[in-house]
Chain A
Amino acid sequence: MNARTADRVATALFWLGAILLVALLGGLLGYIVYHGGRHITWDFLTSPPETIRAGGGIGPQLFNSLYLLILSMAITVLIGLPAGIFLAEYARPGLVTEAVRFSIETLSSLPSIVVGLFGLLVFVVLTGWGYSLMAGALALTVINLPLIVRVSEEAIRSVPHDLREGSLALGASQWQTIWKVVMPCAFPGILTGVIIAAGRVFGEAAALLYTAGMSSPRLHFGLWNPAHPSSPLNPFRPAETLAVHIWKVNAEGLIPDLRRVGDGAAAVLVLVVLGFNLGARWLGRRIHRRLTAA
């Protein structure tokens, strides 16, 4: 085979591989959304699950997933953003910076089940909270912290240096410069990162099995006092999320319409995560366009 033919064959193979990859994604998404989409009704999304009979929904699970997402993202941003600012603006090469970077790398490569076990030990047993939303939120924080720190550091670093110098030249302190000049510029990048992290939180299950738990108490929607044990807002109650629900209904196999619940819940999960991804992408493009046009 001469070089030119080899080149043609290779090119054809690369195209084939790429088409295969796109077909794989298309097939997967299409299958999930088509098969599960038929089962998504208002009733399915809002009614509570059944334990042994058919016809249950995913209402509390959906609520738990969203509530856990808000709780966990709030904590993650509260710790991750300052850590990112520190790395981008204050850190000098040295032992502390090295240690932070090493920690971030270690955290980001930990298997989520290991994080779940750590959560079980510390947030469930040691704190005495038992299986709870708070324990789950903290476990998810461990998983997402490295992503948020890295994203905020990068976003802050990519703010042009002139802006800082201009602000400092006008007599602003370093902190004022960061807070009033750098952060607003870095905000879109950070927001995009947060949305992507939110998508990951929504789909995570392994770390939640032994932290947020595999059951929900009977919830009384309308009871909004967070201290009440059956209030949906109580952060110290056990909470089964949507992703955990898919795993659990299958592992227990007690309901006859397992397939319907699993397919429907998987479709909801994928659609929400997809929504987060597309949302982040759209937002990123929009902001990029506005910044470059300005």
Chain B
Amino acid sequence: MRRSGSGLSWERGLLLACAGLVIVLTVSIIVFISTKGLATFLVNRVSPAEFLLSTEWAPDRPAEQGGPRVGGLPYILGSVAVSVLAVMVATPLGLSGAVFAVEVAPRWGQRVLQPALEMLAGIPSVVYGWMGLTVLVPFVREHAGGLGFSLLAGFLVLSVMVLPTIFTVSADSLRALPPDLKEAAYALGSTRWQTIRRVLLPAARSGIIAGVVLGLARAFGEALAVQMVIGNTRKIPTSLLDPVTTLTSAITMDMPYTVMGSLWNNVLWSMALLLLLMSCGFIVAIKLIARRGVKL
């Protein structure tokens, strides 16, 4: 290949500028959200411990009555609860779907299941929210009790939404396994189930875990679908039928009603910062898992 490309020609400069823009964008997102999100702690002097660990929430209580208090724990716990439960429901289904598509019925899997899951991923999240609201919430109210707006409705809606992620990543990692593994297991006289359970699933483990973490990340950051069905009540749930609230839902609900620069508004930005940090944390976790997988 000609080496003239190594100089800084105009077209190379243009392409580099566009690639550079991607970096600039990422850095500015991190900088802007951090600046706004840290104001709670740097300007309003709220201790991070109060934000992360306290359940007392009264952002507009005057100082003489002992306020304001901005304990974010109910929001954090709500987010953790809906996303963890969603992943617990979606993982067995998504993983068994992936094994089915790759090992049990490859043709049928490829022609029906894969496109079906891709379409599931394509359905917009407000539509999931709308379906949850008009079908699932009344169903829960009539058959399980309570208001219907609940942790249960929230994680069921989310579990359908993260299914495609878990399915796709698991299927990809199963497909990437060297065929020798399977052949060796069959040559030893294993049944298909034994091969899947004792050889293929353990070998694809790091990929599968990465898929589950990715699903968890999706669930954690999902906003509108969750907000529409969970009831948005700021309390720590004691049963699946209790209404809850999440970080994303608090941002969605309160952002338009708070004044920029006020403590209440700043706390919402801190919640956004927390979401940002969590999503970075999830990427790092996936990277670590992938690295461990290579060594195996």
- B240 in contact (CB, < 8 A): no
Evaluate whether A83 and B191 lie within 8 angstroms (CB atoms) in the complex, with A205-B124, A262-B130, A270-B123 already known: no
**How many A-B Cβ pairs are below 8 Å?**
253
Evaluate whether A121 and B36 lie within 8 angstroms (CB atoms) in the complex, with A15-B104, A112-B223 already known: yes
- A51 in contact (CB, < 8 A): no
Give B194-223 as 1s and 0s: 1 = Cβ < 8 Å from A's Cβ atoms: 101100000000000000001001001111
* Residues from 158 to 173 in B contacting A, C-beta threshold 8 Å: 160, 163, 167
Best-buried of B124, B190, B269 by chain A (most CB within 10 Å): B124
- A13 to B283 Cα, complex, angstroms: 33
Closest to B5 in A: A174
**A175 to B9, Cβ gap below 8 A?**
yes
**Chain B contacts for A125, CB-based, 8 A:** 260
**A14 to B126, Cβ gap below 8 A?**
no
Residue of A81, A250, A273 near B133 (CB, 8 A) is A250
**Chain B contacts for A43, CB-based, 8 A:** none
Give B1-22 as 1s and 0s: 1 = Cβ < 8 Å from A's Cβ atoms: 1101100010110111111111
CB distance from A178 to the nearest CB of B (A): 8
- B101 in contact (CB, < 8 A): yes
- A7 in contact (CB, < 8 A): yes
A contacts with B: majority SS: helix
**A266 to B279, Cβ gap below 8 A?**
no
Closest to A26 in B: B116
CB distance from A209 to the nearest CB of B (A): 7
- A114 to B224 Cα, complex, angstroms: 12
**A111 to B223, Cβ gap below 8 A?**
yes
CB distance from A70 to the nearest CB of B (A): 18
CB distance from B7 to the nearest CB of A (A): 11
- A3 in contact (CB, < 8 A): yes
**Chain B contacts for A243, CB-based, 8 A:** 124, 126
Give B74-117 as 1s and 0s: 1 = Cβ < 8 Å from A's Cβ atoms: 00000000000000000011001101110011001100110111
**Chain A contacts for B5, CB-based, 8 A:** 90, 174
- A262 to B126 Cα, complex, angstroms: 10
**Chain A contacts for B12, CB-based, 8 A:** 90
Residue of A14, A32, A83, A106 near B19 (CB, 8 A) is A83
Closest to B15 in A: A86
Evaluate whether A106 and B193 lie within 8 angstroms (CB atoms) in the complex, with A174-B2, A262-B130, A266-B127 already known: no
- A189 to B160 Cα, complex, angstroms: 29
- A246 to B125 Cα, complex, angstroms: 11
**B251 to A117, Cβ gap below 8 A?**
yes
**A20 to B112, Cβ gap below 8 A?**
no
- B248 in contact (CB, < 8 A): yes
**Chain A contacts for B16, CB-based, 8 A:** 86, 90, 96
**A14 to B228, Cβ gap below 8 A?**
no
Evaluate whether A31 and B124 lie within 8 angstroms (CB atoms) in the complex, with A21-B116, A104-B22 already known: no
**Chain B contacts for A112, CB-based, 8 A:** 221, 223
**A114 to B101, Cβ gap below 8 A?**
no
- A28 in contact (CB, < 8 A): yes
Give A260-276 as 1s and 0s: 1 = Cβ < 8 Å from B's Cβ atoms: 00110010011001101
**Chain B contacts for A66, CB-based, 8 A:** none
Evaluate whether A21 and B97 lie within 8 angstroms (CB atoms) in the complex, with A203-B125, A205-B224, A266-B127 already known: yes
- B252 in contact (CB, < 8 A): yes
**B252 to A209, Cβ gap below 8 A?**
yes
Evaluate whether A4 and B120 lie within 8 angstroms (CB atoms) in the complex, with A20-B93, A32-B131, A103-B22 already known: no
* Residues from 26 to 44 in B contacting A, C-beta threshold 8 Å: 26-30, 32-33, 36
Kindly list 17 other residue pairs between chains A and B, CB separation below 8 angstroms, not including A203-B124, A250-B133.
Answer: A6-B193, A11-B104, A79-B21, A90-B12, A107-B26, A110-B279, A113-B223, A114-B29, A114-B33, A121-B36, A174-B1, A206-B248, A206-B252, A210-B256, A246-B127, A263-B134, A273-B122
Chain B residues with CB under 8 Å of chain A are 1-2, 4-5, 9, 11-12, 14-23, 25-30, 32-33, 36, 92-93, 96-97, 99-101, 104-105, 108-109, 112-113, 115-120, 122-127, 129-131, 133-135, 160, 163, 167, 190-194, 196-197, 214, 217, 220-224, 228, 248, 251-252, 255-256, 260, 269, 272, 275-276, 279-280, 282-283
A-B contacts, 7 of them at CB < 8 A, read A21-B163, A80-B18, A82-B14, A86-B19, A103-B25, A111-B223, A200-B122
